[in-house]
Structure 1
Amino acid sequence: MYAMQYFVGLPSDYAMSTIRDRVRRTSHLMDGFAGLELKAYAVREKARGASRNEYAPFYVWRDVDGMRSFCWGETGYSAIVRDFGRQPIQDWTVAGVTQGPHGYADTTSLLLRTVDLPEGIAPSQCLEAVTEPFLGGTDPDTVARVAAVDVGTWRVLLAELSTRPADEGAPDHTGYEVLHVAAGP
């Protein structure tokens, strides 16, 4: 499995209702997308305490073929390039996914935190110590938790989809409001 996210920074005076309308009109196009586990349509708004306005969808792919089809195909990422320019895509190798008591349709927020793996220690000796407490520690508001590794930096991404409201100005994580979650077949 793979996770990915791109970040579309938007001007401070950008009408975020434009993004909300876009998601309402087009989010159904990702439902049933081959190879997709989930796509969280995530936004941050300066008016809600975020450092900037941002559209930043977060994806979990079951396989590389689905991810490749989305990124390189005529549909999918091509719409982002057309409307906002080609944005760099951050990607991670998924170490684990845990489902919580809620379904994807109940998601209202995405919380992201990164943790550095200790220097000089093989991932096989420290990865579980970082990921297992997070993956096993779901609470009543959890929709899903994803632990994923950037093997270029050896940083672990801890992502939680939740029914709690997003805290977009929190200092210890990045919080996003989730407008919709699309799920694969």
Structure 2
Amino acid sequence: MYAMQYELNLPADYDLGIIRRRVQLNGPRTDDFDGLGLKAYLVQDRANGAVTNQYAPFYLWNDTAGMSRFLWGGAFFSGICQSFGRPVVRHWTGAEAVAGPEIDQPAAGATKSVRLLPPDVDPTGPVGEALEELRRTATLPGVHSSAVAVDPTRWELVHFTLWSGEPGLVPGTRYQVLHLSTGRTKALFR
């Protein structure tokens, strides 16, 4: 599994209706994208209390071939580049993904927390602790699914959770889910 995200920070007065219409039109195109475990079309909206307007899709890939086809195979990521310029694409190697009690329900919200691992520590300990936290999170009411991944170039750990409703008092960046492509999600949770 591989996690990937790009973030498009938009002006404060940007009409997020443009993004909502774009997702409504294009979101179903990735529903059965080969190699994709899931794609959460995420936004932060100042009108709903967010600090910024942002479009920030988050992906969990079953294989790198699908991720490569998406990024430089034309038609998909090219549309983002043409509309907004080429954003930085962050990616992490997956540690584990877990289905929650609401896996069969639509996802309405998402949370993402990112932390750097201490430079003088073997990653086994902090990643192991993150996996224990992941398994606890996955049992919470309202959890659709949750994943932990690591960027070993920065030694950065990301914990991403999809929720069927409001996340409650969970730390991290909060997003609204506009569409969730889940054609091959079950393969993530072997």
Identify whether the pair has TM-score above 0.5, normalized to the shorter chain.
yes
What pairs up with 1:87-166 in 2 under 5 angstroms? 87-103=87-103, 106-138=106-138, 139-165=140-166
Q: Distance in 2 between matches of 1:47 and 1:171?
A: 21
Q: Distance in 1 between matches of 2:48 and 2:25?
A: 23
Unaligned runs of 5+ in 2: 185-190
- Deviations along 1:119-162, one digit per CA (max 9) or x if unpaired, are 32222343111222223332120000010111122121011000
Q: Distance in 2 between matches of 1:28 and 1:160?
A: 21
Q: Distance in 1 between matches of 2:133 and 2:11?
A: 38
Q: Distance in 2 between matches of 1:6 and 1:126?
A: 25
Q: Secondary structure at the match of 1:157?
A: strand
Equivalenced residues, count = 183
Q: Secondary structure at the match of 2:154?
A: coil
Are the counterparts in 1 of residues 103 and 144 from structure 2 also a CA contact under 8 Å?
yes
What pairs up with 1:1-185 in 2 under 5 angstroms? 1-103=1-103, 106-138=106-138, 139-165=140-166, 172-185=171-184
Q: Distance in 1 between matches of 2:68 and 2:135?
A: 27
Are the counterparts in 2 of residues 38 and 59 from structure 1 also a CA contact under 8 Å?
yes
Q: Distance in 2 between matches of 1:47 and 1:24?
A: 19
- Deviations along 1:73-119, one digit per CA (max 9) or x if unpaired, are 11210110011110010110110000012236510011011233233
Q: 1:41 to 1:105 in 2, by over 3 A?
A: farther
Offset of residue 171 of structure 1: 9.8
- Answer with 135-144 or 91-100: which moved more: 135-144
Q: Secondary structure at the match of 2:29?
A: helix
Q: Secondary structure at the match of 2:161?
A: strand
Q: Distance in 2 between matches of 1:44 and 1:94?
A: 24
Q: With structure 1 as the length reference, what TM-score do the two structures score?
A: 0.92
Q: Distance in 1 between matches of 2:35 and 2:2?
A: 10
- Deviations along 1:35-93, one digit per CA (max 9) or x if unpaired, are 00000000001111211111000000000000000000112101100111100101101
Q: 1:67 to 1:104 in 2, by over 3 A?
A: farther
In angstroms, what is the RMSD of aligned CA positions? 1.8
